[in-house]
Amino acid sequence: MEIQLSDVSLHCLDTGTPDSGSTGETILFVHGFPLDHTMWSAQTAEFSKTHRCIAPDLRGFGASGVTAGTVTMSQFADDLNELLQQLGIDGPIIVCGLSMGGYIAFELWNRHPNRVGRLVLCDTRAKSDSTEVARGRAIMANQVEQNGMSGVSDGMVPKLIAAGSGVAKGITDVIDSADPNGVAAAQRGMAKREDFTERLSEISIPTLVVCGEQDVITPIEEMRSMTDAVFKSVFAVIPEAGHLAPLEQPAKVNEAVRAWLNS
C-alpha cells in the first residue's frame, strides 16, 4: 500500500493485522542501506502469524517517493512516526532495524519514546561516523548523483554478506535499481547522525541485539559492547551470516527473535 505523508509517499507492507488472528502487537521493520522492505520478507512471513508487521520502504528507497539533498535519521524517524499515525497505531510497538535501520530506531526512541516498547537492533552501531567515514559518504553521494548506481554493488555486496552466501544476486539487483538521489540523501544523513554511545545506558526497554558472526561492517565485538551498555539486553550471534543476517540466515534470526519475544 501507499501512504501519503506530509511531503512524501511511502510504500509499505502491512500484514498480519489483528483481524487475521495476531496478538495485536505490532512490529515495525526498518531496512538497511541501500535496500528496501523486501529484505525483511522472511521475517514478515513468520511474524505476521502472531503480530501485525509493518515494513515500509524508507523515503528515497524501493517504491517510496524520493527527496534529494540530505535526509537525516531524524527525518526518517519522523516519517515512521507519521506513518504509524496514519495507520492508526498509537501505543508502543516493537521496532526492529538493521544497520541504517538501527540508526533510525535510535532516533525513533529518542524523538518518539512513547512509540518504542521493545527494540531489535540488527547489525548496527550506536557510534557516529569518524571524519574519514563521513568524507567517504560525501564522495559516494556526489558520485551516484553524477553517475548513477552503476558499479556501486560491486564494491558493496562482498562487505554486506558472508562468503558463499546465496543472497548476492538478490541484493545486487536491489542495489542496482536503487534511486541515486535517495542513496545520496541517506548517505549525507548518516554522515550527520548523532552518536548514541553515551546514551545506551538510558535505554530501559527490552532490547535484542542480533549480529551475524561474520559481519565485517558492524563486527561482533563492537555489537557485544553495545549490548552490554543496554540494561535489559540479550545478544544473539547468528552463525554463517554477515551484515545482512536476517536475509542470509532467516530461520536462525527468526528463531532468535521468537525465543526473545516469548521469554
| Cβ proximity to ligand MLT, 33 vs 196, nearer residue | 33
| Cβ proximity to ligand MLT, 42 vs 217, nearer residue | 217
| Cβ proximity to ligand MLT, 33 vs 47, nearer residue | 33
Shortest distance, position 155 Cβ to ligand MLT, whole Å: 12
Shortest distance, position 37 Cβ to ligand MLT, whole Å: 13
Shortest distance, position 41 Cβ to ligand MLT, whole Å: 17
3-state helix/strand/coil string of the chain: CEEECCCCEEEEEEECCHHHCCCCCEEEEECCCCCCHHHHHHHHHHHCCCCEEEEECCCCCCCCCCCCCCCCHHHHHHHHHHHHHHCCCCCCEEEEEECHHHHHHHHHHHHCHHHEEEEEEECCCCCCCCHHHHHHHHHHHHHHHHHCCCCHHHHHHHHHCCCCCCCHHHHHHHHHCCCHHHHHHHHHHHHCCCCCHHHHHHCCCCEEEEEECCCCCCCHHHHHHHHHHCCCEEEEEECCCCCCHHHHCHHHHHHHHHHHHHC
Shortest distance, position 64 Cβ to ligand MLT, whole Å: 16
| Cβ proximity to ligand MLT, 122 vs 261, nearer residue | 122
> Could you identify the residue written with the cell 534529494?
68
| Cβ proximity to ligand MLT, 34 vs 206, nearer residue | 34
Shortest distance, position 184 Cβ to ligand MLT, whole Å: 13
| Cβ proximity to ligand MLT, 118 vs 243, nearer residue | 243
Shortest distance, position 97 Cβ to ligand MLT, whole Å: 9
Q: By the criterion CB under 6 A, which residues form the site for ligand MLT?
A: 32-33, 99-100, 190, 217, 243
